[in-house]
């Protein structure tokens, strides 16, 4: 029997915060010149229009790549998984795993684990694989396939 192993990206929490901080920084970057020279209060329409375009872009981007649904960490403990999103941690027995698949959005590979019975984290768990596998689709597929095979064996 092998030891537990982190199978998700170590810095997922930092990555998720980075997306929101980038959005806030771009909004500040768009608004700051107008605030400094006072034109925001005299003629707010150009700044508001630029903000609307920026918010629409970020909305579309976050809709296509739902970064907020990613689990912060997933640890494979051989007979169960330990998944954590923010402060919620869940132990998921492999008998509860229906399937593990690879999903790709905007060129980013994720592993999606579908559960037989919903957990506190939902009906499915999505996470980024370790960074060493990001450029290797076959490596990510191997991790998902291994999880599915072990889950099927545990369910029998």
- Kindly indicate the confidence band of residue 1, based on its pLDDT and cuts at 50, 70 and 90: very low
pLDDT the model gives residue 102: 93
pLDDT the model gives residue 150: 93
Domains of the chain, first to last: 12-67 (no CATH), 70-155 (2.30.29.210)
pLDDT at 122 over 50: yes
Encoded tokens for 22? 């980038």
DSSP 14: H
pLDDT digits (tens, 9 = 90+) for 51-82: 889 889 888 877 777 777 899 999 999 899 99
DSSP element (H, E) containing 80: strand 80-85
């Amino acid at each position: 029997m092998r030891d537990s192993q982190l199978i998700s990206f170590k810095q997922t929490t930092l990555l998720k915060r980075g997306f929101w901080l980038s959005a806030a920084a771009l909004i500040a970057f768009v608004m700051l010149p107008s605030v400094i020279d006072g034109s925001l209060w005299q003629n707010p329409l150009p700044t508001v229009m630029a903000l609307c375009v920026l918010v629409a872009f970020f909305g579309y981007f976050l809709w296509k790549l739902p970064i907020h649904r990613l689990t912060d960490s997933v640890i494979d403990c051989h007979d169960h998984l330990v998944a954590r999103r923010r402060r919620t941690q869940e132990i998921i027995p492999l008998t509860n795993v229906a399937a593990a698949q690879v999903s790709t959005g905007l060129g980013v590979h994720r592993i999606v684990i579908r559960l037989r019975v919903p957990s506190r984290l939902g009906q499915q768990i999505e996470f980024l694989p370790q960074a060493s596998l990001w450029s290797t689709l076959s490596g990510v597929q191997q991790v998902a396939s291994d999880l599915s095979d072990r889950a099927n064996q545990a369910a029998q």
